[in-house]
Amino acid sequence: MTSIALTSAPVTTLDVDALIVGITDEGKKHVEGPPALPDDVRVSLEKALEALGANGKLGEITRVPGTGLVKARMIVAVGLGDVRILDLEKVRRTVGAALRSLAGTKSVGIVVTSPDGPRVEAIAMGALLGNYAFHAFRGASASSQQAPVLKILITGAPKNKEQSAALDRAVVIAEAVNYARDLVNTPPSALPPEEIAQQAIEAVGKLPVRVEVWDEDALARDEFGGILAVGQGSANPPRLIRLEYSPKGAKKTVALVGKGVTFDSGGLSLKPPKAMETMKCDMSGAAAVIAAVTALARMKAKVNVIGWIPTVENMPGGHAQRPGDVITIYGGRTVEVLNTDAEGRLILADALVAASEEQPDLIVDAATLTGAQIIALGDRTSGIMSNDDDLQAAIYETAKRAGETMWHMPIPEESRGTLDSPIADIKNIGDGKGGMLSAAAFLREFVPEGQPWAHLDIAGPAFNEGGPYGYTPKGGTGAAVRTFIQVAEDVAQGQLP
């Protein structure tokens, strides 16, 4: 476990292996901000950087020996680019990349040059997210892995209440994101629906969060037909999980819903092998709900938070649902299932109806719902859809503040039209065009009119198949965790819906 703390120890004598300092690209390879480094050290460092050809452009990382300058063995100069346009997300990304580049180093100091709370929070967040590694399933190769940095000290910021609160907040949120990443990275054999439920119970631990789990009998009794239909093709039975955090005095309620398909083979509408390789990530929405509810309880947020997690394994076993089957979603609507690979919407439909019954102030769901999301927005931008345009715009702002890239997508009337079934209330696939939008149109059918609801399609952003960048590792990213937390906080503040 990595420790992180603020220190008032002088930068020059700080006892760490590496010292991270920000440099800007304004002409003279300026070491950013005056107060933290003594003038003579700063001037010498700038000379060394100049000799090495460092130019301070955003994301650049240059190592300089600490000898003669500071006690730390090395100084790692990270380029911040033009500081006049330096936003907090750039800080998070730069610090994240710097920390990852230091894997294998034991202790790291980070010099803060603009010592306000948001900057400290961004630095800590970037550091903890960038420092993430997942080695739980390595055997013989475990010992050859570079361990994450063990100790992070933030220096140069005053150790007052504002800074400490900023640091605490960053720690809770980053731990939540990293926890979600762990769940996503865990192989699907180790994380069937029953184990997701177990994880939820363990994650909330002694926190004031109530956990309720529907097993297959309870699901049948209460007629959760979507979850049962998708789950029936697997030897691992489905579950529905409800988490409730209701602190004293909270006036508003937000429901967070997450798709929890522990493995998506496609079912009888089987996916090709390549497309299946990453399908352990199909429970990323579920991971985000568990992580966010846990974090909000740890932060003692003043808002009621209800987490809903329908979780299944989508498999083509002998009892699997067939294309052509008609199933009945919780609440009574019927769905003609023409493609068993469009399973997320079936289990989410059950959960959205259940969540709506309690009439929360806002429902937000997150789901790795469609490949079409990746075609439309790429793999770093999630889609936001909603039954209310103003809410959609507000969620965009909330996500951005939380550091997550998302973009507004419509639910056009014609996409609902393509879902008309000749024999049931609705069918589960459209005409193949605008697949992200018709999936949202399907979900919207299960949210009553007047119930504020937003849907986040995180299919691409949930899992990074490419190399690591900024604070984002390869594999599970923890997408939607920070947005969920920020959404709940905004609801608490009356800023949402």
Residues assigned a catalytic role: 271, 345
**Residue 229 touching ligand BES (CB under 6 A):** no
411-443: buried (b, 16+ CB within 10 Å) or exposed (e) per residue? beeebbebbeeeebbbbbbbeeebbbbbbbbbb
Please report whether residue 287 would count as binding Zn ion according to CB under 5 A: no
244 or 343: CB nearest ligand BES = 343
Shortest distance in whole angstroms from residue 157 CB to ligand BES = 40
C-alpha distances out from residue 371 to 348, 470, 481, Å: 17, 24, 21
Q: Which two tokens stand for residue 49?
A: 């950087």
Of 62, 294, 368, 415, which one interacts with ligand BES (CB under 6 A)? 368
Q: Does 371 bind ligand BES (CB under 6 A)?
A: yes
Give the nearest distance from C-beta 16 to ligand BES in angstroms.
40
Does the footprint of Zn ion cover residue 260 (CB under 5 A)? no
Task: List the one residue from 370, 398, 464, 483 that touches ligand BES (CB under 6 A).
Answer: 370
For the record, the structure tokens of 161 come out as: 């209440």
Residue with structure tokens 């955090």? Answer: 245
- Residue 329 class from Cβ within 10 Å (0-12 exposed, 13-18 middle, 19+ buried)? buried
Min dist CB 284 to ligand BES, Å, is 8
Which of Zn ion, ligand BES, none does residue 429 bind (CB under 5 to 8 Å by kind)? ligand BES
- CB neighbours of 115 closer than 8 A, spacing ≥ 6? 35, 156, 157, 158, 163
Does 282 bind Zn ion (CB under 5 A)? Our answer is yes
Buried b (16+ CB within 10 A) or exposed e, 114-133: bbebebbbbbbbbbbbbbbe
Report which residue type is found at 150. L
**Number of residues located near ligand BES, criterion CB under 6 A:** 15
Q: How far apart are CA 493 and CA 414, in angstroms?
A: 36
Binding segment toward ligand BES, per CB under 6 A, in 70-78, 125-133, 152-160, 370-378: 370-378
Using the rule CB under 5 A, which residue among 89, 264, 457, 490 binds Zn ion? Answer: 264
Asked whether position 341 contacts Zn ion by CB under 5 A, the answer is: yes
Residue 435 in contact with residue 376, Cβ under 8 Å? no
State yes or no: residue 409 binds ligand BES (CB under 6 A): no
* Minimum CB–partner distance for residue 314 and Zn ion (Å): 6
Residues lying near ligand BES in the complex (CB under 6 A) are found at 264, 282, 339, 341-344, 368-372, 429, 435, 459
